[in-house]
Structure 1
């Protein structure tokens, strides 16, 4: 046997004997509490005095007889007891002269009752060996270490470290680390204990002492120093205090009685693994072993939190956080020159201990976060109902107040919320073809693993779709606020306009505007005010291009990238944006930039029928920033065609207007209720039939919000029709869902109006029209004619019928004339034509036998001829009543006066109208004087109008009273004309005679004049 081994065996035997002796007769062996002995926590001096156990061999004669400071005494290899609340200091010093390894073991036992149940060790000074790292950054203790062990359960049995084996001593002699990694599970037998790691090097303080609290009643401290020959310039120093606490629950560890803390259920067969459930009702906290003291070395704890039951339609998420910055203290493995940790905040750059949070029930799940250091921890949120927290304790480390506490909460979120899938996929597709055309996108409401990219791909349902996007919030933590350089080291956001990207690739441009990228110092356009309103629709719209984005095509991609950073962010990177698919499709042909954005043109040469509707582009409405909208739909057909429009849906809410069906015109008409036509809110549809520059109304609709049970049919007379959709005074919350219409159109052959006969000699005219086969049509028969005057003359019209402009003046089944002035859409007169067939009781009169046997056309013409004078209706053209050069409603008056006459036949009947060209007998000058019109030679006094001379006494009555055909005006011998003729002839004779005499006189003078014969010399000009 080698001598060193012999010496080692000898030392072991001596130490074991000394330990057994100390257990039998040394301090702490006396447990008497009567008057003759000392307490369990005291040492009995030889003189009978009792001193605290920590006074033994402390270098001071506390007994008075030096029995507590015996020669060669040591406070190692002893068991210490103490009373509750008493703090006892101990300093461990190695022998001054020694050649063998130094092993010092101390047992701290809480004996219960007044001696407490929990052990507290406070390290005030520590310097044992050194901590060194290899090339793999794996740390080990050299030249000495300290080990703390705690049994698996509280026990009154006091066991020393020597009984644990001979390997501790041999490892100290060979200067090799012996601690093997301790897994979370170990042999949980009655006498088995985990193989904890070691502390060495210097004490690292963070402004206070380093404290250890036992989980049970027995703690063993062991210091191992190799032999003196192997020591270098390392010193040894260990100074600590111990104290005992009662077993009753403390508020620090277990909370209040009314609000207890749930520390989870310990997993059988493990050292510190725990499982949590029902943290939505309990106050759950994850704590490192021995909290609030530091935890031991060389173990792995796994804390599993799950909540599998959730309300319908929701899913649970686990939220981990810690607002108190003093409750997380994990040594980073890096030192500053002063000995304290170089990291005052949480970091992911960990060389020793580390905390890992997995997004699932096993460590195979994605790592949400990995951190160490000190500071507050912002919320770490799982994507699902399970999360695992793993605490890894390195096998060797400097003595440091390592501890961990995390608060656990359960949050219920909608099951349809965005989240990262279990495989790490974070890609979402928003399909515009589905019913949901608008909504919000946002960063998934849980912690995103580093090096993850989340994308949102918008796909429109057609080529006309566009994506409108505005951001409500955007945040990326800036870790270099003092710098203007953007690092993009935390997260970034990209907006990819797929349509613009395609245009860029097809062009030769050097600037790609299809991708916009934002990081910590730049941000997208923010419309933050929208976040304060329901559905994120603000009262002041998020307009383009200041507050929002609009894609070029139907596709848009949003990418958010999360980068791996050494610093744990205080707030996670996030954004919230509202999106909406904008439908820009409109039927018809765009009329170009000189017209409105929704003015469309329909031609029968392109399509004889089709559908059209109000635009669904939100930017044309209040919610998109437009308070007013006017869309005009122009329909152009062949000269032989007319148009039918079927209104199938109307949504035109307004309080300033109402519409009704006008029996007189057989059209829908609007009536303005407000005294101000341009009031706060108007919505209506107006359909007009235009012939040249005259527009006749075909229908007007407003104040209707119901689905039409039956389509409304509107039929034109001509081939050019305009439908105008107008909304004024929209609020910022209204759009195409509040104001809209749907319709279809059809071009059809026009109604034949060739049965009408017109006669005109320039100064007068007559129109006669007979309507046949009206009952075979589903709409009234309509025909129209223009009556035009000579320049600077007016029209006087006389209809066979009576005035139908008054309320209930026309029978609903009566045929009518509707008269329009040139350039004015509202009718100026309505004439009922067939009231002779209606008696006072509203019953139809019977025809005579002769009339019955006559043809229908002859019957109708005969009826019209037999109308009494009161059944004739006359009127002047509208410009007759206007003395200025402008007609009502701002239409400029022309030299030619025109009237449009429309015949409406709801049944077979005859229409007749006569007209005269007239002038005014008096003219008003610009100064306001009234002068006689010298051109007015023949006047109808009852009309105060002058007619053309050729109509005077022509054998036909033109004035209503017959004034132009009275005998006194129309004599048989034309004396006046003869006198005029004779006077004219006499004047001609006189002028001719005078001309002859003058000629003769001039000719005679030319013959008698003398002509000189002598030459006359002219003087030169210079003389």
Structure 2
């Protein structure tokens, strides 16, 4: 069955009653009773049409059954062949035109005659879907309609063109004037109606004011990729044809608000390709409209804050009329802003919020340039597009084929706690409180013109109560408020360290206005709290021009008012101190740290940055970056010595653990400019107490060092790069250098943690030493934390201090008495007299020796026959000795000298560097004492002997020094040591000198000590006595045989006597 389109204009024209714009009446099927003939004719016509093939909706049915396009009706051409498309008094007005996709249809309106004025013509163009298209394209090839006077008020007095769309409210915008270049209009809906009205004709031929020729086409929606997206992406040259390329995602153009012409709502553009477009983009946009594009982000990840950005990097997609000129050559195409858009009053306004009451961050018109980013401060943004009531198709050359705008939408999520956005649109203020460090950047969103942002930096930690002890004043902190008798303002716990690394202001779009005012946008650094913006437009912001600078109060424990101080001011024409080299840092490069001449340090715990913006940052971005850090001056304990971080711990409740940790003052580390760090933590308990320290955290990064148990001493020892370590020392005596104990240089793996140390004395020092730091070192890479407490244990009551010209210490294991048991593993100290040195002898061999900085050197690889060890400590180094039993003391003798004694030995250990801590602790002169420890594990008895030495005065070669040498000076000495010894050790029965010369017979015999004369006389007397004794004996021997024989003869027989007498004699 055929569909019969019914055209009332065609039916009425058959009866000679032409319809025009002035006489046309809407005709239905109402027929008067007297018009029977008319109905009969209509019936015949319907029957005839039913018997012929139906035409398309885009065609006109001729009387002869032919089909011609609708635009050929009443075009003064007999297209049907029977003139049925050109009836008398016909008109192309008041008709609906359809078409097919791919075809272009021309349409022309002729100039009406004077009697037809006012002339009104309605033309409706409809896309009927599928092959009949989805979008209507209207091209105004030649257009002259009245006169164009103004864009804003009574701009079309003679007549105008108005365009309305299906289901859209009538807005009343008008076009008029003259144009000879094509202008294109694309419909938003499937049907659009244009109304051409001419109210008056020109009075003369020169004032010809009507010409209307146009074309229309029907387009498919999928081919309108400029508006809807979804086109094929750009293919590279080497992409093969067989490659499957998916089309791009279509644009999300928002949801039309009911009852409005073009206002739309956009939501959750983080998952959609949102585009904000002018109505009828990319064609002519309507006149007298105000469109609102409300963008809102509903779904925001937890802990994040949404920022909405609109931009357009392609300048060819922006063309909003900004010039009222109708002829001539247009000025350079550019994006105009603010008041420059008041000429035509076609502009786009971006609001930082959801209403027009929110701050305006951008207003632009024109085109040909990229639209800069306009970023909202929150999850809502409003774009307003407003056009003037009147317009014209006349443009200065060159004419743009694209009209309106298209803006891209992007949603960014930032940390909700970051100072990257303002929380109140009318108050740009940020509070950064804490104890950490961070980076301050300019707000990520756009700031309206004449905005002042305040960044309040305040160091505060509410979890830690204020220290009752004032912080130590250092010269590097500009206090200026300390006095000898009292403290006016206690130094705060925190200070703010700020380094500005970048400040950049984009030049003005108007080059003529760049030098009109200096420092339109600036960044000020205030020492203290500034509560309101200051008024200063001078380049150097002199003090007499400062206004409304409030006073602030120190945030210390006691408080006190003082004026804020302007530290620096940055602007486009003047850059103050910067630390821009820090921007070169990366994972492999560590630039030098920022010095105080390149940065700022507050005198209190607060500092304020004031950012003043004169122009919207959407147009003139202001970028800055600053590194801030809250310097924590708090240190546990009390000040100790002159070290920057040395602390003393004395008062404690027994069995109550208290925490302590490494300093967090950044200026003590490499990132603050320091090269070395040496902190001494001095724990001093009562005489009957001991110190218990537990390390719970130990961080030493970027150091190749390991902590292992030393098998010789059963203590932790550091192996490798010992440039950073924590060392334990005991101080049993105040006048003796500390005795080294354990060393830890690694603990991140948790192998040796927690480590608990219990002392043998009541005084312990923990030393935190770091050398060779760079800008990557701070308390996050070099740190320790632990607890301490004082405990009661059995104490050693014996006197472990030994003095004297010589002596011997006997070590036995196991102990033979309870008194000795309490003193096991306790060190003994030998103290020389004034200006004296010590010489120790131990039977054994040196296993290892090490300096107090941790450098260890093996002396011998000989295997020790016992697990017992004797450790010797001098002021600079320590030595572990494998002792031999007392019966073999003359084999493998170990000799030890106190510090300061120079020997000629070349086989001994080389001199070790001086320990700076010991110098600070004991003074500039090294201690000459020697500490001896015995580490017993198996049965044995060992002796350590010492001898007190004195230097022999050096006599000059000329011998003049002999005049000042006393007669008894260095009367007793060890030649092999070239040392003087005390007379009490000379010939005391113990060989104290290495060669034993002090016990030689030549020195110890009293006879040999007499003078030579006495020795001669004694020898002469002895000789004479000997001679006399011999003479007397000889005489007696001559008388003695006669009496003897007589006696013998009386007692013997006669035979025997005669024979014997005869033998002796003979």
Q: Which residue of 2 aligns with 1:446?
A: 445
Q: Kindly state the Cα deviation for residue 146 of structure 1 after the two structures are TM-superposed.
A: 0.9
Q: Kindly state the Cα deviation for residue 555 of structure 1 after the two structures are TM-superposed.
A: 1.6
Go from structure 1 to structure 2 and tell me whether the alpha carbon gap of 1:361 and 1:748 turns closer, same or farther (over 3 Å shift): closer
The whole-number CA distance in structure 2 between the counterparts of 1:975 and 1:331 is 128
What is the aligned counterpart of 1:695 among 711, 724, 737?
737
The whole-number CA distance in structure 1 between the counterparts of 2:582 and 2:709 is 43
Q: Which residue of 2 aligns with 1:393?
A: 387
Q: Which residue of 1 aligns with 2:784?
A: 741
Secondary structure in structure 2 of the residue aligned to 1:320: strand
Contact 1:29 1:40 in 2 (8 A): yes
The whole-number CA distance in structure 2 between the counterparts of 1:634 and 1:408 is 59
What is the aligned counterpart of 2:160 among 135, 146, 151?
146
The whole-number CA distance in structure 2 between the counterparts of 1:875 and 1:44 is 131
Go from structure 1 to structure 2 and tell me whether the alpha carbon gap of 1:365 and 1:692 turns closer, same or farther (over 3 Å shift): closer
Q: Kindly state the Cα deviation for residue 222 of structure 1 after the two structures are TM-superposed.
A: 2.0
Contact 1:426 1:455 in 2 (8 A): yes
Secondary structure in structure 1 of the residue aligned to 2:431: strand
Q: Which residue of 1 aligns with 2:423?
A: 421
Q: Kindly state the Cα deviation for residue 522 of structure 1 after the two structures are TM-superposed.
A: 4.7
Q: Which residue of 1 aligns with 2:136?
A: 118
Q: Kindly state the Cα deviation for residue 460 of structure 1 after the two structures are TM-superposed.
A: 0.7
The whole-number CA distance in structure 2 between the counterparts of 1:968 and 1:384 is 104
Q: Which residue of 2 aligns with 1:498?
A: 528
Contact 1:817 1:904 in 2 (8 A): yes
Go from structure 1 to structure 2 and tell me whether the alpha carbon gap of 1:34 and 1:692 turns closer, same or farther (over 3 Å shift): same
Go from structure 1 to structure 2 and tell me whether the alpha carbon gap of 1:891 and 1:369 turns closer, same or farther (over 3 Å shift): closer
Q: Which residue of 1 aligns with 2:566?
A: 513
1:560 aligns with 2:562: no
What is the aligned counterpart of 2:770 among 714, 722, 727?
727
Go from structure 1 to structure 2 and tell me whether the alpha carbon gap of 1:715 and 1:735 turns closer, same or farther (over 3 Å shift): farther
1:825 aligns with 2:877: yes
Q: Which residue of 1 aligns with 2:665?
A: 617
Contact 1:529 1:538 in 2 (8 A): no
The whole-number CA distance in structure 2 between the counterparts of 1:896 and 1:407 is 76
Deviations 1:756-808 (A, max 9, x none): 79786x6x5678999986589698544423134987xx766567x97796876
The whole-number CA distance in structure 2 between the counterparts of 1:110 and 1:959 is 126
Moved more, 116-125 or 517-526: 517-526
Go from structure 1 to structure 2 and tell me whether the alpha carbon gap of 1:735 and 1:270 turns closer, same or farther (over 3 Å shift): same
The whole-number CA distance in structure 1 between the counterparts of 2:260 and 2:550 is 60
- Mapping of 1:92-111 within 5 angstroms? 93=111, 102-105=118-121, 107=123, 109=125
What is the aligned counterpart of 1:465 among 485, 488, 494?
494
- Mapping of 1:538-549 within 5 angstroms? 539-540=590-591, 542-545=593-596, 549=600
Moved more, 300-309 or 286-295: 300-309
The whole-number CA distance in structure 1 between the counterparts of 2:306 and 2:1006 is 115
Contact 1:76 1:92 in 2 (8 A): no
Q: Which residue of 1 aligns with 2:1024?
A: none
Go from structure 1 to structure 2 and tell me whether the alpha carbon gap of 1:303 and 1:817 turns closer, same or farther (over 3 Å shift): closer
Go from structure 1 to structure 2 and tell me whether the alpha carbon gap of 1:210 and 1:573 turns closer, same or farther (over 3 Å shift): farther
Q: Kindly state the Cα deviation for residue 830 of structure 1 after the two structures are TM-superposed.
A: 7.8
1:648 aligns with 2:695: yes
The whole-number CA distance in structure 1 between the counterparts of 2:125 and 2:612 is 55
Secondary structure in structure 1 of the residue aligned to 2:155: strand
The whole-number CA distance in structure 1 between the counterparts of 2:824 and 2:989 is 42
Q: Kindly state the Cα deviation for residue 369 of structure 1 after the two structures are TM-superposed.
A: 3.2
1:878 aligns with 2:897: yes
Contact 1:781 1:906 in 2 (8 A): no
Secondary structure in structure 2 of the residue aligned to 1:326: helix
Secondary structure in structure 2 of the residue aligned to 1:262: coil
Q: Which residue of 1 aligns with 2:676?
A: 629
Secondary structure in structure 2 of the residue aligned to 1:979: helix
Deviations 1:523-577 (A, max 9, x none): 873647648747xx96335523476554443222334344455xx9457444454
Moved more, 541-550 or 41-50: 41-50
What is the aligned counterpart of 2:193 among 219, 223, 243?
219
Go from structure 1 to structure 2 and tell me whether the alpha carbon gap of 1:883 and 1:35 turns closer, same or farther (over 3 Å shift): same
Deviations 1:419-448 (A, max 9, x none): 333654443322215xxx234443443344
Go from structure 1 to structure 2 and tell me whether the alpha carbon gap of 1:47 and 1:289 turns closer, same or farther (over 3 Å shift): closer
Deviations 1:110-153 (A, max 9, x none): 586999772513254546334348xxxx5332632413132525
Q: Kindly state the Cα deviation for residue 16 of structure 1 after the two structures are TM-superposed.
A: 5.2
The whole-number CA distance in structure 2 between the counterparts of 1:216 and 1:281 is 28
- RMSD over equivalenced CA pairs, Å: 6.2
TM-score norm. by structure 2 comes to: 0.62
Q: Which residue of 1 aligns with 2:911?
A: 889
Secondary structure in structure 2 of the residue aligned to 1:826: strand
Contact 1:786 1:898 in 2 (8 A): yes
Q: Which runs of no fewer than 5 residues in structure 2 stay unpaired?
A: 1-17, 29-37, 39-57, 232-246, 395-401, 462-491, 531-548, 555-559, 848-861, 915-923, 958-967, 1021-1066
Contact 1:333 1:353 in 2 (8 A): no
Q: Which residue of 2 aligns with 1:582?
A: 631
Contact 2:127 2:190 in 1 (8 A): no
Q: Which residue of 2 aligns with 1:477?
A: 506
The whole-number CA distance in structure 2 between the counterparts of 1:394 and 1:422 is 33
The whole-number CA distance in structure 2 between the counterparts of 1:607 and 1:235 is 109
The whole-number CA distance in structure 1 between the counterparts of 2:171 and 2:802 is 122
Deviations 1:676-697 (A, max 9, x none): xxx6954343637597986353
Contact 2:351 2:361 in 1 (8 A): yes
The whole-number CA distance in structure 1 between the counterparts of 2:808 and 2:106 is 132
Go from structure 1 to structure 2 and tell me whether the alpha carbon gap of 1:472 and 1:75 turns closer, same or farther (over 3 Å shift): farther
Contact 2:522 2:570 in 1 (8 A): yes
Contact 2:162 2:194 in 1 (8 A): yes
Q: Which residue of 2 aligns with 1:979?
A: 1013
